[in-house]
Structure formats: structure tokens, C-alpha cells
Amino acid sequence: MEKIVIAGVEINRVSIRQLLFNKYMLLSYILLAIGIYGIYEVIQMRYFLVGATAADAGMHPGTHQMVTAMKDAVFGEGGEVKREAPWSLYIVNYMYMIYTGSGIIFLVALDEILNLQIIKKTAAGFLTFGIAMVIGGLFTIMVDLNSLHMLWMIGSPNFGAGMWQMLPLYMVYIPFVLFEIYLLITKKGGWVKSISYAILFLSVIIDIVEYYIQANLFSLNEARHLWTTYPWLTLYFIISAYVAAIGVMGVYSFFTYRKVLKNEYHTLIEVIRKTAVITITLLAVYEALAYLSIDKAWAFLILFGPFKYLFFGGYILLAMTIPYLLLFKESKNYMTTLASIFMIIGTYIGRYIFVYGGNAHPMSDRFGTGFEKYGIYEKFTSFIYYPPERAEVLVVIGSFGVILAVYTLLNKLLSVSKIREH
């Protein structure tokens, strides 16, 4: 294929048709279309919901808008955001995409430092998929936030807030990882080679900082004890992200390297299998110890309450037990792929339980005599759970389209999935 070389990077000269209308891009368009419909619903709900105040009721009695607003005020579901459970599927997906993408980047950097040749050969592809996942996560959170006010992140920053720290973090993180990919795909010259190890170490440090900031985001919520009593939240995020990342790497390898690597494919799968066994073991031990120290009000809801089927039947079984049984002995390659699929689903459920579980214990037991109703129309509840809105599910589906589109475009232009000898 004809190439254009810019700053040492070979860019494929592909036609618009090859670039934008290949089967992967077409699939991403379908997913993106679903996501865009979700965004449309979000905008409708967020910016065009008819609300009313007492003054409106006095000034415009009997108008159609007033009737609609009053009907929604009395019989509605309380608008887009639930007061008792403000964080929902957006945060689950954001966490999953960002942490898993960063996990892939983190693991690849570690493997490169450990001089694992098979990972070195495939690193550019893994890193690109990792950064595509990070971008998919950011897409989700951008839909969740009120973008019309985002300029205040710069205009009125609160440097200590975990939420604000995301801004400089990703402004550094994404270009940094792109630079790492650049180093991998460029024809290495003198200075590039000399800094590559320093970049790898820096990459590991940035990843740890990222997980620390993410942990800070949750642990500042003092009254949500699932998040504040989870021991060493930074470490938990890293270990659980490893399991999810290895799952994604397993499936990615199946689709990308199964035919290309030929005999070496088994070597790659073996690295993934062994890493999976180690990380699953770490996560299992971590969870077992963690639930000894998590506030019992939250721990009981998850372990023995309404979340128990999701926790044991979803998270523990799919993310850990089944993959461990499939992987603890060397076996056929497809077993690793199968285990990877289970790990992806299981760890997603794990994130779901983490976010929804954090809100599951009502804050309304303020007097210590039991949970309160807030008002005459409110329900008395000892467990808070609101299933995700349809718009949220659609946006999450759209985020998969973002990942696929970003990765496919970069791969078509830069051949990041090509095997590279270093």
C-alpha cells in the first residue's frame, strides 16, 4: 500500500471509501446512530422538559404547558436525575471504559518493561484500542454532563475536586498515550529509542495517578460508605481494571492476531492466560478481604440483599470463577477467548454493582430511627435502585460505536495492528 511519511510515521494512502465505508465503520455508524438517538432523548429530557413554579402556576393557570408541568410534578418520575441516586449507568460505563482502557495501556507498558517480546510486537494495537476505550468513556460522561456550562471548568476551577482533576489528567493522558503509540509505530531513530524506556516508566506513573484521582472522586463522598470504606480504592480500581483489560485484550487478540500471528498466537494467548490467572486471583482475594471491612449496611445489601444474584451470579461467577476454571491450566486458545468474554461481562457487572450499590443504602435514616419518606407522594424505601433510563442504554451502545470508529480510523490510517519487530 502506498504510504505518506510524516514525522517518521507511515500513513496509509487509503481512499475515502476504504477509510469510511468498510464493514467496521458501517457497524460503528449503526451503533453511533443508536447513541445519537439516545442523545436526542437526553436533550429532550434535560432541556425541553416542561417544568413549573408556583409563580408560573399563578401567572399561567390552565394553559396546556401548565397542565403538563403540573401532571409531571405530581405523577412524574422526578425528572432526569433521581435525587436519591444521582449517579447511574453513565458513570458505570464511564468507569468501565476509562478504567479498562487505561488498564490495557498500563498492562502493555508493564509488559514492555518486562521485555515480553510478543507484547512488544502487538503493543501499538493494544494501546490504540485502550485509548479508543478511554475516548468512548469520555463520550459517555460528556453526554451525562451539562456541556453548556463546561467552560466553568476553566473559568472557575476547584483544583482539589476529583471531578476537576479529570480535566488536566486527560489533557495530559491522551496526548501522552498517543505519543507512546507514535514511538511504537515510527521508525525509531536515535533520540526516540533513548527516551522510550523513560516514557514507559512515566506511563506507569501516569496510570497510577489516574487511578488515584478516580479513587479520590469516590472517596470524597463521605456518607456513601461503600465507596469510603472500600479499602485502598486506588489499588482496587487498578486490580479490577486489570481483569477487565485482560478480558478485552483476549477478545481483541482473537479478532486481530489469530490469523496474523499464526504460531505466535498461542504465545500471545499464553501471556494473556497467565496474566488473567494472576489478576483474577488478586481480585478474588481483594474482594474477599474488602467485604470484611466495607460498612455492613452496604455490604449486606450487596451480599445478601437485592444485589446478591447480580453479585454472585454476575460478578463473582462471570468475572472470576468461570474464567479461573477455564484458564488455570494451559488449554486450547479458544478457551482463553471464551474466558475473556466472561471477564468482560463480569467486570462490567462489577462496575454496575459498585456504582448502583453505592447509592443503594438510603441516606434518609437521618434521625437513626429508620428510613424516612421525604414527602406525601414519596415511597418509603430501605433500598434504592432505579433501573437505567432507555436514553442511557442507547448512549452506552453509542459509546461502543465511538470505540469502534476511533480504533478503525487509526488502524486504517496507521496500521496499528500490524506486527512490529523491535
Map the footprint of other proteins across residues 211-250, applying CB under 8 A: 217, 220-224
* Residue in 81, 114, 172, 289 binding other proteins, rule: CB under 8 A: 81
Residue 6 found at the interface with other proteins (CB under 8 A): no
Among 73, 192, 413, 419, binds other proteins (CB under 8 A): 73
Distance in Å, CB of 172 to other proteins, minimum: 17
- Residue 386 interacting with other proteins (CB under 8 A): no
Taking CB under 8 A as the rule, does residue 171 contact other proteins? no
Select from 61, 76, 313, 387 the one that contacts other proteins (CB under 8 A). Answer: 76
Tell me the closest approach of the beta carbon of residue 281 to other proteins, in angstroms.
32
- Footprint on residues 319-358 left by other proteins (CB under 8 A): 358
Q: How far apart are CA 100 and CA 91, in angstroms?
A: 14
CB of 99 to other proteins, least distance (A): 18
Cβ(356)–Cβ(85) below 8 Å = yes
How many residues line the site for other proteins (CB under 8 A)?
Answer: 71
Nearest one of 271, 206, 212 to 245, comparing CA atoms: 271
DSSP for residue 313: I
> Nearest CA to 103 among 275, 245, 270, 214?
245
- Least distance in angstroms from the C-beta of 356 to other proteins: 12
Site for other proteins in 363-382 (CB under 8 A): 363-378, 380
Using CB under 8 A, pick the residue from 79, 168, 313, 387 that binds other proteins.
Answer: 79
Q: Is 359 in the site for other proteins (CB under 8 A)?
A: yes
Does 156 contact other proteins by CB under 8 A? yes
Stretch of 74-82, 127-135, 334-342, 401-409 contacting other proteins, by CB under 8 A: 74-82
User: What would the grid cell of residue 25 be?
Assistant: 465503520
Among 18, 44, 63, 158, binds other proteins (CB under 8 A): 158
Phi–psi pair at 263, nearest 5 degrees:
-65, -30
Residues near 381 by beta carbon (within 8 Å), at least 6 away in sequence: 362, 371
> In angstroms, what is the minimal distance from the CB of 234 to other proteins?
17
Min dist CB 168 to other proteins, Å, is 11
Residues 6 or more apart in contact with residue 29 via CB below 8 angstroms = 401, 405
CB of 236 to other proteins, least distance (A): 18
Distance CA 351, CA 95 (A): 7
Which residues, at least 6 apart from 76, have a Cβ–Cβ distance to it below 8 Å?
none
Q: Is 95 in the site for other proteins (CB under 8 A)?
A: no
Question: If binding is defined by CB under 8 A, does position 87 make contact with other proteins?
Answer: yes
Q: Which is nearer to other proteins, 196 or 219 (CB)?
A: 219
Q: Candidates 51-59, 293-301, 392-400, 414-422 — which segment interacts with other proteins by CB under 8 A?
A: 51-59
What are the grid coordinates assigned to 381, written together? 424505601
* Site membership for other proteins, residue 288 (CB under 8 A): no
Closest contact distance (angstroms) between CB of 36 and other proteins is: 20
| Closer of 232 and 380 to other proteins (Cβ) | 380
Q: Toward other proteins, which CB reaches closer, 264 or 372? A: 372
| Range list of H helices, 156-263 | 162-185, 190-219, 225-228, 233-257
219 Cβ contact partners less than 8 Å away, ≥ 6 residues apart: 227, 228, 233
Distance CA 165, CA 157 (A): 9
Choice between 83 and 422, CB closer to other proteins: 83
Burial readout 325-339 (b: 16 or more C-beta within 10 A, e: otherwise): ebbeeeeebebbbbb
Q: Does 47 bind other proteins (CB under 8 A)?
A: yes
Beta pairing partners, 4: 11
Q: Which residue in this structure is represented by grid cell 495530559?
A: 172
Asked whether position 105 contacts other proteins by CB under 8 A, the answer is: no
Residues 419, 118: contact at Cβ < 8 Å? no
Answer yes or no: are the C-beta atoms of 161 and 215 closer than 8 Å. Answer: no
User: Cell 471477564 identifies what position?
Assistant: 343
Task: Give min distance, CB of 376 to other proteins, in A.
Answer: 7
Looking at the chain, how many residues does it have?
422
Main-chain phi, psi angles of 4, to 5 degrees = -115, 130
d(CA 417, CA 407): 10
In this structure, what C-alpha cell is assigned to residue 74? 405530581
Rounded to a whole number of angstroms, the minimum distance from the CB of residue 275 to other proteins is 34
Only segment of 8-16, 163-171, 187-195, 286-294 that touches other proteins (CB under 8 A): 163-171
Query: Within 136-155, which residues bind other proteins (CB under 8 A)?
Result: 144-150, 152-153, 155
Q: Assess 361 for contact with other proteins (CB under 8 A).
A: no
